[in-house]
Amino acid sequence: MTVTGALLFSACSGTSGDGDTETDDAGINTESAVTVAWEAPLNELNLSSSNGNATQNAIINYVLNSGFSYYDADLNLVQDESFGTYEKVSDDPLTIKYTFGDDTKWSDGTPVDATELLLDWAGQSGKFNTVEAETDPETGEVTNQAEVDAGVYFDGSDPGIALISQNPEISEDNKSITVVYDKPFGDWELSWTNEFVPAHVVGQKALGIEDAEEAKAAVRDAILNNDTAALSKISKFWNEGFQFTSLPEDPSLYVSNGAYTLEDYKENQYLTLKANPDFKGKNKGSVDTITVRYSEDPMAQVQALENGEVDLIGPQASADVRTALEALDGVETHSGIEGTYEHVDLVFQNKGPFDPQTYGGDAEKAKAVRQAFLLTIPRQTIVDNLIKPLNPDAEVRNSNILIPGSPNYDQMVAENGSDFYDPSKAAENIEKAKQLLADAGVATPVKVRFAYNNENTRRVNELALITDTASQAGFEIVDTGRPAAEWGTLLATGQDQYDASLFGWQSTSTAVTESDANFRWAPNPGVNNYGQYNNPAVDAALDKLQVSTDPEEQFQLQLEVEKNLWADGFGVTIFQFPAIQGWDENLKGVESITISPTIFHGFWNWTFEG
């Protein structure tokens, strides 16, 4: 089933610019509105939590909240000194001081200050966690709920922030905070950008303190004093308190500190953002209203653009979409690639077909089953049938870390062991998979529960191809796909309900350590390690990569990671996403970038002319 209804509602079309328009004192055109179509709806405003760490949330957060830095159109990192400043105080030890601006405030008037950064440090460093949730592999239910409720468990994770083990130092006016890294970290400038949640709201809701400043102080004191009783409540709210799929009745749950505020949100239909006239930052909203209309159907997005129901779209690309979009009058289009790649990952610790526990702890047998299954993924067929009609130069991606065409990509592919799964040898791969299962003594059919977004047409088509080829080698695919609104939660927390997953990883930065979150297990699992992959050699290479500044050494460490991933049967990469965008020719200032937030980038430059 594909959702199309979201775009059938009456939409706010863009102001054409004819005649005079009204502008308020903040420079906002109060008669203008831009409507954007997007595929997956917002489900959380805490980007640092395990559930909130998703593109569908990041794009909305980008419009709602400012930060210390952002990317320009050429992917150069730009400091936003109107939000605050940061400076390197020392290289040995690496010491960074952040200072929040005097005019940087939440939309309810409460200052944004050092406590916000302190709280995010607590949430992602792993320092304060005293317990982890244990689940029943059959039902997925938490089996130690009383222990979790009594303990402290922040479910965020960031390998760089985890290198800050000692309490940060906060200035007396609470405007500045200084952090000291335990060892050098090359990507420190990307540790904190715009992912903060309102600490005063966390204190109010978790600790029952009404006054905003008192609530914020209580959060700050709980962290600095390691007050486990208070942190238990704080961590639970931090993990879950900012999750919602429609406009909450409590407006404190969606306060923002940027150019726009959240005004309305109808579940799976649309979300409305209103320019904040009190915002004092650099990148002010240029149009009064931004409405995001949700539709998973790319062709429905094109139709909505043609009908004037939306002004800007970035649908999942297909040959039909491209043809239809380029045929529209009065529409600008742009094609390219995205910073997202498609891949299949396997689950290692759920007592499923890829878990050694299923075979009495026999790790080699489990690995053979993983390798056999991955050999059946028809990667070349997927690219030929679904991607090449959009991009004739498309190729199978054979690296977990590097983008095709980037420096070192060819050397990486030549040396990382991906040739074991040579996509050009489809028939041979099926026979190889059969032999692996036979040699391992594994009875067929092997059932594989497959999770994916079943409202995404391309992924439905991919799964059909996978189901066919996997069956030829003795695997039975069990479709455990979910709708877009439920899919992200299943992926992050429902490992007991699936064995393989199909989705895309989108780059959000240019950090050399960005992939750390995908593959790390210790000392804290990476926030994107949904397959619960655990290899100490990979963790050790990632540890070294964190502190390396030499490009050749960085590549060798990335190569070490990849050799292990391919040998272990972590998963397979498939293709780099093709990209296509279209917008009303009267909408000026659209400047999409390859990484998140893609088409929302530079929203402060949007204007209507003509």
pLDDT tens for residues 140-196?
Answer: 567 888 888 889 999 898 888 999 999 999 999 999 999 999 999 988 999 999 899
| Residue 2 CB burial class (10 angstroms; 0-12, 13-18, ≥19) | middle
Residue type present at position 18: D
- Closest by alpha carbon to 586, among 606, 567, 603? 606
At 25, list the tokens: 């004192």
Note whether 159 and 292 are same-domain residues.
no
pLDDT over 70 for what percent of the chain? 94
pLDDT over 90 for what percent of the chain? 77
> What pLDDT score was predicted for residue 248?
98
> What pLDDT score was predicted for residue 186?
85
Note whether 229 and 326 are same-domain residues.
no
> What pLDDT score was predicted for residue 551?
87
Give the model's confidence band at 1: pLDDT under 50 very low, under 70 low, under 90 confident, else very high. Answer: very low
> What pLDDT score was predicted for residue 86?
98
82: CATH: 3.90.76.10
At 272, list the tokens: 């409305």
Give the model's confidence band at 16: pLDDT under 50 very low, under 70 low, under 90 confident, else very high. Answer: very low
- Listing DSSP states for 445-473 in one string gives PEEEEEE-BTT-HHHHHHHHHHHHHHHHT
Dihedrals φ, ψ of 314, to 5°?
Answer: -140, 65
> What pLDDT score was predicted for residue 136?
66
Q: What are the pLDDT digits (tens) for 212-225? A: 999 999 999 999 99
| Interatomic CA distance for residues 414 and 330, integer angstroms | 46
Note whether 297 and 344 are same-domain residues.
no
Give the model's confidence band at 391: pLDDT under 50 very low, under 70 low, under 90 confident, else very high. Answer: confident
At 490, list the tokens: 């299943």
Note whether 237 and 355 are same-domain residues.
no
| Interatomic CA distance for residues 584 and 331, integer angstroms | 5
Q: Which residue has the higher pLDDT, 9 or 147?
A: 147
| Interatomic CA distance for residues 387 and 378, integer angstroms | 13
Note whether 424 and 553 are same-domain residues.
yes
Asked whether residue 396 carries a pLDDT value surpassing 50, the answer given is yes
Note whether 102 and 233 are same-domain residues.
yes
Note whether 189 and 266 are same-domain residues.
no
Domain count, the chain: 3
Give strand ranges (E) for 268-352.
270-275, 287-294, 312-313, 331-346
Asked whether residue 610 carries a pLDDT value surpassing 80, the answer given is no
Average pLDDT rounded to a whole number, residues 101-115: 98
400: CATH: 3.10.105.10
Classify residue 318: in a domain, yes or no.
Answer: yes
Q: What are the pLDDT digits (tens) for 229-279? A: 999 999 999 999 999 999 999 999 999 999 999 999 999 999 999 999 999
Give the model's confidence band at 12: pLDDT under 50 very low, under 70 low, under 90 confident, else very high. Answer: very low
**55-64, 128-137, 409-418, 434-443, range with the lowest pLDDT:** 128-137
Average pLDDT rounded to a whole number, residues 412-430: 98
Asked whether residue 15 carries a pLDDT value surpassing 80, the answer given is no
> What pLDDT score was predicted for residue 148?
81
> What pLDDT score was predicted for residue 139?
55
Which 3 state secondary structure label does DSSP give 137? coil
Classify residue 61: in a domain, yes or no.
Answer: no
Do 301 and 313 form a contact (C-beta atoms < 8 A)?
yes
3-state secondary structure 485-496: HHHHHHHHHCHH
Note whether 495 and 366 are same-domain residues.
yes
Residue 332: alpha-carbon gap to chain centroid: 28
Q: Report the relative pairing of strands 270-275 and 475-479 from DSSP bridges.
A: unpaired
Domain around 188? 67-193+198-241
> What pLDDT score was predicted for residue 138?
55
Q: pTM here?
A: 0.78
Cis check: omega of the bond before 597, within 30 degrees of 0? yes
Asked whether residue 51 carries a pLDDT value surpassing 80, the answer given is yes
| Residue 407 CB burial class (10 angstroms; 0-12, 13-18, ≥19) | exposed
Note whether 560 and 492 are same-domain residues.
yes
Classify residue 216: in a domain, yes or no.
Answer: yes
Classify residue 315: in a domain, yes or no.
Answer: yes
* Alpha helices (H) in 126-198, listed in sequence order: 145-150
Give the model's confidence band at 384: pLDDT under 50 very low, under 70 low, under 90 confident, else very high. Answer: very high
599: CATH: 3.40.190.10
Note whether 78 and 178 are same-domain residues.
yes
Q: What mean pLDDT value characterizes the chain?
A: 91
Residue type present at position 487: W
Note whether 355 and 487 are same-domain residues.
yes
Do 158 and 517 form a contact (C-beta atoms < 8 A)?
yes
Classify residue 270: in a domain, yes or no.
Answer: yes
Classify residue 53: in a domain, yes or no.
Answer: no
Note whether 179 and 119 are same-domain residues.
yes
Classify residue 117: in a domain, yes or no.
Answer: yes
Cα dist from 333 to 92, 296, 326, 344, whole Å: 49, 20, 7, 30
Average pLDDT rounded to a whole number, residues 547-563: 93
* Alpha helices (H) in 189-338, listed in sequence order: 199-207, 212-224, 228-240, 298-306, 319-326
Classify residue 250: in a domain, yes or no.
Answer: no
Asked whether residue 31 carries a pLDDT value surpassing 80, the answer given is no
> What pLDDT score was predicted for residue 28?
53
| Interatomic CA distance for residues 298 and 318, integer angstroms | 8
Q: Which residues are registered as beta bridge partners of 95?
A: 90, 180
